[in-house]
C-alpha cells in the first residue's frame, strides 16, 4: 500500500468519487515503510487509535506522505498528533519525530507545527477540510540518533466536531481482512493522467465507482458492497443486480517504479466496469 509521490499527486488531484456513499475511512496509503510488506510499520498504524503502534518510514526518509481515503466527503475540524513512536510511555528518540505537518484536501492546504513530546497534541483546523482524500506531508522532523534514521508517527487523530473520524475501528476492520483483500484497499484509476474510471475499495467491505467518459458514453456512478473469494470479485450495488467478475492483481514496471495493476473481466454491474485499473502503489 506504499504509493509513489508522483502517482499520488495524480490520484489526489484527479479524485472524483460518489458522494452518495456515507463518509468513512476507506484506505491508507504511504510513501515508504521501515519494514516493507509487513504490518509493523504500515500507514494504518497512524490512524488506528493505539499509541503502541506507529507508522515508520524507510531509512533515509525523504518528503514522506500519508494519504487517507474516504467513501464520501469527510469534513475534518480538528487533528491530534503523537509525533513519534512510543516506548514505555516515552518517545523513541533513536528515530526521527514529526515537527511540521502539511495537510491538504486538494483545495485548502495548512501547515501545523508540534512539540517534541509523547502526549497527544490537538489542534483546531481553520478552515475546515472536506474531501474524499486527505494528504499528510511531513515537512520537518526532530532528528533521530542517525541522519538516516526513519521518521515515525504513532497517531494522527482526526475529528469532525465531537465525532471521531479515525480510531480503533480502523485497526479492527483492517485486521479482519485477509491479505488478498487488504491489497485491494486503494483508489484505482483506469488511465493515469487522464482517468475515466475511479474505483475505491474500503476496509468496511463497501465500494464506490465513478465513470466519467471524455468522449462517448454516459457518466455513471454506483456504490455498494464488495466481496473477494479467490480470484472472484462480487460486487453488490445498492441499486441493481450483483455481478461477479474474474480478477487478477499484478505488479508491473513503469519506468523506475513498480505499480499495482488490477484487471477485471466478465459482466460487471455496468458495461464500463470491466477494465484494467492501476493504483500506483507497491507493497
- Rounded Cα distance, 208 and 140, in Å: 35
* Domain map (residue ranges) of the chain: 2-167, 179-282
Per residue in 148-168, pLDDT (tens digit) is 999 999 999 999 999 999 999
Q: What pLDDT is stored for residue 18 in this prediction?
A: 43
Tell me whether strands 187-189 and 163-164 are parallel, antiparallel or unpaired. Answer: unpaired
CA–CA dist 109, 60 (Å, integer): 26
The residues near 231 (Cβ < 8 Å, ≥ 6 apart) are: 246, 247, 248
CA dist 195 and 175 (Å) reads 31
For the whole model, what pTM was predicted?
Answer: 0.88
Higher model confidence: residue 38 or residue 144?
144
d(CA 124, CA 79): 7
**244 backbone dihedrals φ, ψ, rounded to 5°:** -120, 125
* Residue-wise pLDDT tens digits, 205-218: 999 999 999 888 89
> Which residues are within 8 A (CB) of 156 and not within 5 positions of it... i.e. 6 or more apart?
46, 47, 66, 68, 79, 80, 81, 136, 166
Is 283's pLDDT higher than 50?
Answer: no
CA 89 distance to own-chain centroid = 28
Mean pLDDT of 140-153: 95
pLDDT of 203 strictly over 60:
yes
Grid coordinates in use for 256? 523506475
Percentage, residues of the chain above pLDDT 90:
76
pLDDT-derived band of residue 53, with 50, 70 and 90 as boundaries? very high
**What SS3 state is found at 64?**
coil
Indicate the burial class of 263 (C-beta count within 10 angstroms; 0-12, 13-18, 19 or more). Answer: middle
Does domain 179-282 sit in CATH 2.40.128?
yes
Instruction: Determine the average pLDDT of the residues in 176-189.
Output: 94
CA–CA gap between residue 257 and residue 281 (Å, rounded): 9
Q: Return the HEC string of 236-261.
A: EECCCCCEEEEEEEEEEEECCEEEEE
Instruction: Report the number of secondary-structure helices (H) and strands (E) in the chain.
Output: 3, 21
Mean pLDDT of 164-180: 93
Would you say 158 and 103 are in contact if contact means Cβ atoms under 8 Å apart? no
Q: What angle do CA 53, 97, 153 make, to 5 degrees?
A: 25
**Separation of alpha carbons 229 and 252, rounded Å:** 23
Quote the CA–CA distance of 57 and 138 in Å, as a whole number. Answer: 11
Cell of 28: 491508507
| Local confidence band at 229 (pLDDT 50, 70, 90 cut-offs) | very high
Query: In 3-state terms, the chain is what percent helix, strand and coil (to 5)?
Result: 10, 50, 40
CA distances from 274 to 130, 219, 245 (A): 30, 15, 8
Averaged confidence pLDDT in the chain: 89
Q: Fold match between 2-167 and 179-282? A: no
Q: Note the pLDDT tens digit of each residue in 27-51.
A: 999 998 888 777 888 999 999 999 9
The hierarchical CATH code for the domain 2-167 is 2.60.120.260
* Overall average pLDDT of the 98-109 stretch: 95
Amino acid at each position: 500500500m506504499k504509493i509513489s509521490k508522483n502517482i499520488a499527486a495524480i490520484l489526489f488531484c484527479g479524485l472524483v468519487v460518489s458522494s452518495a456513499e456515507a463518509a468513512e475511512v476507506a484506505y491508507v496509503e504511504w510513501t515508504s515503510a521501515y519494514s516493507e510488506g509487513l504490518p509493523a510499520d504500515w500507514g494504518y498504524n497512524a490512524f488506528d487509535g493505539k499509541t503502541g503502534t506507529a507508522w515508520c518510514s524507510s531509512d533515509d526518509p525523504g518528503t514522506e506522505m500519508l494519504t487517507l481515503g474516504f467513501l464520501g466527503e469527510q469534513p475534518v475540524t480538528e487533528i491530534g498528533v503523537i509525533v513519534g513512536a512510543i516506548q514505555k510511555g516515552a518517545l523513541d528518540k533513536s528515530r526521527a519525530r514529526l515537527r511540521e505537518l502539511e495537510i491538504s484536501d486538494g483545495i485548502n492546504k495548512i501547515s501545523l507545527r508540534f512539540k517534541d513530546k509523547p502526549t497527544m497534541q490537538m489542534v483546531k483546523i481553520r478552515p475546515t477540510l472536506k474531501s474524499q482524500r486527505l494528504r499528510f506531508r511531513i515537512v520537518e522532523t526532530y532528528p533521530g540518533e542517525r541522519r538516516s534514521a526513519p521518521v515515525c508517527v504513532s497517531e494522527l487523530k482526526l475529528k469532525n466536531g465531537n465525532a471521531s473520524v479515525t480510531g480503533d475501528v480502523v485497526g479492527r476492520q483492517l485486521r479482519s481482512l485477509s491479505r488478498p483483500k487488504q491489497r485491494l484497499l486503494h483508489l484505482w484509476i483506469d488511465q493515469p493522467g487522464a482517468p475515466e474510471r475511479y474505483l475505491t475499495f474500503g476496509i468496511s467491505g463497501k465500494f464506490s465507482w465513478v465513470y466519467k467518459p471524455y468522449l462517448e458514453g454516459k457518466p455513471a456512478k454506483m456504490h455498494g458492497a464488495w466481496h473477494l473469494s479467490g480470484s472472484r470479485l462480487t460486487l453488490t450495488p445498492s441499486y441493481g443486480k450483483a455481478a461477479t467478475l474474474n480478477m487478477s492483481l499484478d505488479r508491473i514496471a513503469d519506468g523506475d517504479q513498480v505499480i499495482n495493476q488490477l484487471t477485471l473481466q466478465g459482466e460487471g454491474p455496468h458495461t464500463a466496469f470491466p477494465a484494467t485499473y492501476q493504483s500506483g502503489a507497491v507493497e
